[in-house]
Chain A
């Protein structure tokens, strides 16, 4: 983050907008003392303050709540609200006073929650409200809310907004981070847009519009040169028809041709990754159909998907992609050991040769197959995961954020690799939060919002603005 200035007045709801990775989370972490700023100053009530750690932030009345409220699910509501601040005498808790104080906080907010109920048994919306009650019981002057509505129903959102307005009227300042443009217009007084860690501008709601904000959020992105390749073949490689999974995604239909790259765009939480996991058999669907090369396909497990020529490079590299304590060799060949074995006995020579050629093709550094993957850079770790997917010789590749957390050089290498794969006839489903990357690679862009497809753009008509606008508002 670089040289961001912004102010919040007393009794104001101030919204922060920006793409994934624009610097919103970093700003929140600075304000709540999670990490210290390299330079610049923070003023609170006109006085310069240093926020050294999260505890210090709380003492100064800065309290934050997140998309997933940080509560202890197995404790009840009152114990959560007053956790660590229980009224006590010589360490013995005064149970009556505890209940009374918790009830008071809740009633001040106009919340109807049973203080004896376990937090685990509450709906996501109620949990979010309990988190707010907890934040306010510390006598917060400033409340930071990071995507508080992401998991809530419409009704719960409107209740949350009533509470926020009430707080504002009491003179409490609220910083509200959301991806949902219409919510921002409903609740915010002023809006600040961040992009690439920079402060782009602050507007009052009255003086701005959707289109101005989208323009500010997108800016003039660095163009990534479009790589040339053969046009997609006629044959359809993968098709999904009307797949749904609970509240996560609904009625998703699309197809990918051989040699085609289709991007699944949308904000974090729009259900992109969940659709990808369903195609790979990593999570279940409730209804809908899949077909591969015209034949019916029912992904049950990743094992089954890989046997059918479908492979996914997961978004969470450390948690799901690599096995950090094992060697580059073991990681790369893992998905294709059947080919390097006979009667379950490994043929080390075949395996070594295949891995060596992958290491060479992807230019993995260092080119030592015995090195533990945890000792590689992020970019090379990602190349190891990609090498594994190539080694599995899949016809359909799902790439979830393939260039995230990777340095610039590795990014362009990975992009040209993806392009080559499509050129060779692989069907690719690309998920990426970097819109220039999507524009450079994809033949078509499918945009998702809140678990549904809201539109499809051909490469020729797709621009950063149109994609962001569609992803945020659901309208063309």
Chain B
């Protein structure tokens, strides 16, 4: 793609300098503009607010985005395949509620892993349902997940009666508040790193990951090449549901309680992070590393603005502007190339 002879850059830079070639190689990489953007944001905040560069703050930023990141890695699969999933926020709340209910019932330390697993199964279940409806009933991902989102949120309210579920054993808070290596590496960050590596391997090293790209790139061509589109779509939405549930358990564990109203509007943050990371909404194009960068940009913007005492309402405006700016910049890069 770099030596596409139709591109104007190629024509003008025939026999050009090393710099020109390096620039072109840089522009050719999908994440290049994003990385630049991320670095720029870091530099600006670092200069304006020296405490930004402290190690504890860096860990803090990553811990704050970990819940978003876990879901965004799953969402990347759905968007790469040409779909998306609006139910992730509601599923995460439902998983947190169900997980803390189980933990409260079982009480003992033994019950904690069980509660995490049951919470995860909620996500697996909703994901399977989403996948089945999208694959077999051919209802669009928008409508399907809008429906299951509403149902899941409603069930979370029904289970809790609208109040926070306190009285959960302290051990439940391990995955949200615990640390690996005394006060250095928070558990949510560990979970995020594990989910990133697993997702990376699944996306880049397995046949399933290849099929995700193929379905997003041209669903009919994939089908005629023998790809079992329906089965793979079910897997995709199950994966999204599972990561959403995992982020919901981490959140409930942090809060020490299942809350039906938690993560409201979360789905839009997740989609924003993925798109900001350069994953094309039309499918087939983008990388998991991009999503990671997108998540970090969102986290750093939020953190930096807080450090600089910017009022929370302005943070929303900045987040929206960042999305438009980053995607616009990426389109510009493609045009120049």
Question: Which residues of A line the B interface, CB within 8 A?
Answer: 280, 282, 301-303, 305-307, 312, 314, 319-326, 330, 334-335, 337-338, 341, 344-346, 371-372, 375, 388, 392
In the bound complex, how far is the Cα of B228 from the Cα of A164, in angstroms?
Answer: 49
A326: B residues at CB distance < 8 A: 213-214, 217, 284
Question: Which residues of B line the A interface, CB within 8 A?
Answer: 1, 4, 205-208, 210-211, 213-214, 217-218, 220-228, 284-285
A289 CB to closest chain B CB, in angstroms? 23
A337 CB to closest chain B CB, in angstroms? 5
B221: A residues at CB distance < 8 A: 319-323
B225 pairs with A375, CB closer than 8 A: no
B76 CB to closest chain A CB, in angstroms? 16
In the bound complex, how far is the Cα of B205 from the Cα of A319, in angstroms?
Answer: 27
A323: B residues at CB distance < 8 A: 213-214, 217-218, 221-222, 284
Q: At the interface, is chain B mostly helix, strand, loop or mixed? A: helix
B206 pairs with A341, CB closer than 8 A: yes
B200 CB to closest chain A CB, in angstroms? 13
B217: A residues at CB distance < 8 A: 323-326
Do A341 and B214 form a contact, CB below 8 Å, given A322-B221, A326-B284?
Answer: no
A337 pairs with B210, CB closer than 8 A: yes
B206 pairs with A346, CB closer than 8 A: yes
B226 pairs with A335, CB closer than 8 A: yes
A325 pairs with B1, CB closer than 8 A: no
B214: A residues at CB distance < 8 A: 323, 326, 330, 334
B284 pairs with A344, CB closer than 8 A: no
A-B contact pairs, 28 of them (CB 8 A): A302-B223, A303-B226, A303-B228, A307-B226, A319-B218, A319-B221, A320-B218, A320-B220, A320-B224, A321-B224, A322-B221, A323-B213, A323-B222, A325-B284, A326-B217, A326-B284, A334-B222, A334-B225, A335-B225, A337-B207, A337-B211, A341-B206, A341-B207, A344-B207, A345-B206, A375-B4, A388-B225, A392-B226
Nearest A residue to B208 by beta-carbon distance?
A: A344
A347 CB to closest chain B CB, in angstroms? 10
B225 pairs with A302, CB closer than 8 A: yes
B1: A residues at CB distance < 8 A: 371-372, 375
In the bound complex, how far is the Cα of B209 from the Cα of A330, in angstroms?
Answer: 11
In the bound complex, how far is the Cα of B195 from the Cα of A349, in angstroms?
Answer: 26
B227 CB to closest chain A CB, in angstroms? 7
In the bound complex, how far is the Cα of B205 from the Cα of A313, in angstroms?
Answer: 27
B220 pairs with A319, CB closer than 8 A: yes
Interface centre among B205, B208, B223, B226 (most CB of A within 10 A): B226
**Other-chain residue from B207, B284, B285 in contact with A338 (beta carbon distance below 8 A):** B207
A466 CB to closest chain B CB, in angstroms? 33
A240 CB to closest chain B CB, in angstroms? 19
Interface centre among A305, A314, A320 (most CB of B within 10 A): A320
Do A346 and B205 form a contact, CB below 8 Å, given A282-B224, A306-B226, A375-B4?
Answer: yes
Interface centre among B221, B225, B284 (most CB of A within 10 A): B225
Do A303 and B284 form a contact, CB below 8 Å, given A341-B206, A372-B1, A375-B4?
Answer: no
In the bound complex, how far is the Cα of B168 from the Cα of A232, in angstroms?
Answer: 76
A374 CB to closest chain B CB, in angstroms? 9
Shortest 8 CB-CB contacts between residues of A and residues of B: A306-B226, A323-B217, A335-B225, A323-B218, A334-B225, A337-B207, A303-B226, A344-B206
A292 CB to closest chain B CB, in angstroms? 16
B284: A residues at CB distance < 8 A: 323, 325-326
Nearest B residue to A340 by beta-carbon distance?
A: B207
A322: B residues at CB distance < 8 A: 218, 221
B4: A residues at CB distance < 8 A: 375
B224: A residues at CB distance < 8 A: 280, 282, 302, 312, 314, 320-321
Nearest B residue to A326 by beta-carbon distance?
A: B217
In the bound complex, how far is the Cα of B221 from the Cα of A312, in angstroms?
Answer: 11
A306: B residues at CB distance < 8 A: 225-226
B223: A residues at CB distance < 8 A: 282, 301-303
**Other-chain residue from B206, B210, B220, B227 in contact with A303 (beta carbon distance below 8 A):** B227
B218: A residues at CB distance < 8 A: 319-320, 322-324
Do A330 and B225 form a contact, CB below 8 Å, given A323-B217, A375-B4?
Answer: no
**Other-chain residue from A325, A346, A372 in contact with B210 (beta carbon distance below 8 A):** A346
Interface centre among A280, A335, A338, A392 (most CB of B within 10 A): A335
Do A302 and B226 form a contact, CB below 8 Å, given A321-B221, A323-B218, A330-B210?
Answer: yes
Nearest A residue to B218 by beta-carbon distance?
A: A323
A345 pairs with B205, CB closer than 8 A: yes
In the bound complex, how far is the Cα of B206 from the Cα of A131, in angstroms?
Answer: 51
In the bound complex, how far is the Cα of B266 from the Cα of A2, in angstroms?
Answer: 61
A344 CB to closest chain B CB, in angstroms? 5
A341: B residues at CB distance < 8 A: 206-207
A372: B residues at CB distance < 8 A: 1
